[in-house]
Amino acid sequence: MDFQARLEALTHQLQPWSPLWSRSILQGWPESVASYPEDWLAYARSLDEAGERRLDQGALVDTPPASLSALLGALEELTALPWHEGRHPLTVMERQGLSDKKAHELERMLSLLGPRTRAIQQAVDIGGGMGHLARLCARTFGWTFHSIDRDAALQDKGRRWLTRTRPSGEDTLCFIQASVEDGLQPRIDPLFSGQDRASLGLHTCGPLALTQIRKSQGAGFVLNIGCCYDKLELPRDYPVSRVGREHPLPFTPHALALTTRGRPRKTDAEFARMKRVYAWRFAFHLLAKQHFPEQDFVRAGDAPKGLYDGPFALYARDRLERLGLDTSLTVAQLEAFEVSVRAETRDLLLCHLLRDRFARALEVVLLLDRAMLLEELGFAVDLLQLFEPRLSPRNLVLIASRST
């Protein structure tokens, strides 16, 4: 893939809409609605429940505005990435103690690693937890494997698991309790260097992905799957490549949070649940804005799931008490307020459905930037889809091998 051409094309599509995707809808409401073209909003308001579901899936029904249709079509094309669909089946014994998600990820990763790592003899896993990936790689490929994690309790569980499941004399797996950090770490740095060394990072959180890449400049093979992009620090962590710096997008913390919302298709029940949660949160925001203007932006926070199933008044009372705000409003007043702002809360929902259409494209921009950084370090790089999004939404994998 020509990463530079793909990045430039995505930048061309995304840059004009940065006022829309770089800002919080709720924190800037109602001024934030000005970033949305009126014909987009009119189209979204015309949708019924089924049409809203389709919009949440990135599809358009009836006769959408030409600009919206063209943009979503271009973003879909530019975020389409090759799939690795191979699977290395785990035995019943190997699957014990693994969730369906974890088993799926490990089967896909083992299949991916097999043909690409024939020269590898040793490997290191960042954030290895209980060492499931390390254990399976050591047994499948015969590697000497070091699993690094800062959680000693998880590693102790992994050691006990390894003792129960391995035949005598098998496995060359070592657990190392440490945090992988930028800068010199004499204890672990040698593990990342050597043409026969592989550096693996499955769902490295926030800037840890970039730390792994920098640590692994001397490795023969690097695999990284990132997550939690909202924990990146700007401008330190984006852009990181030369080409990225030449074609930067105005990422903000709000835009980084949006990149984590590229979600798989929801079931009808999941979509209905999302709408109910949004309706209560948005109505509460408007309530706080009207009754407590001195508070500026009030963060409602995550409420117990059961509160979203009940009436708005119950939810609002709980949030007001948690935030230490006046709770003299009666149940009848709270319910009447929610009814009075339903048109506005639906507009907020529709803006979110439109803004979410940028999530995957922004995530791909971050990964294209990292792919080009790896190329600048001398690696041959692939960017693939690896996991089924329904099981593991952060499913994009960077694979880097030393060019021969």
Give 97's pLDDT tier (boundaries 50, 70, 90): confident
Query: Which listed CATH number (3.40.50.150, 3.40.30.10, 3.30.230.70, 3.40.50.300) goes with 92-257+362-402?
Result: 3.40.50.150
Q: What residues does 83 pair with on adjacent strands?
A: 385
What does the alpha-carbon distance between residue 355 and residue 20 come to, in Å, rounded to a whole number? 7
Is pLDDT above 50 for 25?
Answer: yes
How far apart CA 257 and CA 280 sit, in angstroms, is: 21
| pLDDT score recorded for residue 287 | 96
Show me where the domains of the chain are located.
12-55+264-358, 92-257+362-402
Q: What is the pLDDT, as a whole number, of residue 166?
A: 67
Q: Of 45, 38, 32, which is closest to residue 289 (Cα–Cα)?
A: 32
The pLDDT, as a whole number, for residue 327 is 77
Give residue 169's pLDDT: 46
Distance from chain centroid for Cα 163: 34
Q: Long-range contacts of range 340-345, CB-CB < 8 Å, 24 or more positions apart?
A: 341/282, 341/283, 341/286, 341/287, 342/279, 342/283, 344/30, 344/282, 344/286, 345/278, 345/279, 345/282, 345/283, 345/286
pLDDT attached to residue 263: 67
Considering the chain, what is the average pLDDT of its residues? Answer: 94
| Mean pLDDT (whole number) for 1-20 | 98
Give the model's pLDDT for residue 187. 95
Reported as a single tens digit per residue, the pLDDT across 314-334 is 999 999 999 999 878 999 999
State the average pLDDT over residues 352-370.
Answer: 97
pLDDT: is 404 or 298 the higher one? 298
Per-residue pLDDT reduced to its tens digit, 181-227: 999 999 999 999 999 999 999 999 999 999 999 999 999 999 999 99
CA distance 69 to 20: 16
- Compute φ and ψ for 56, nearest 5 degrees: -65, -25
pLDDT digits (tens, 9 = 90+) for 129-141: 999 999 999 999 9
Residue 168 has pLDDT above 50, yes or no: no
For residues 238 and 232, the answer to whether their CB atoms sit within 8 Å is yes
The whole-number average pLDDT for the span 48-66 is 95
Residue carrying the six token digits 């809203």: 52
What is the per-residue pLDDT for 261? 85
Where is average pLDDT lowest: 23-27, 260-264, 367-371? Answer: 260-264
Is pLDDT at 368 greater than 50 in this prediction?
yes
- The answer to whether the beta carbons of residues 272 and 263 sit under 8 Å apart is no
Residue type, 172: T
pLDDT of residue 167: 57
* pLDDT, tens only, 231-277: 999 999 999 999 999 999 999 999 999 999 876 678 899 999 999 99
Q: What percent of the chain has pLDDT above 70?
A: 97
> How many secondary structure helices (H) and strands (E) does the chain include?
18, 7
Looking at residue 69, its pLDDT comes to 98
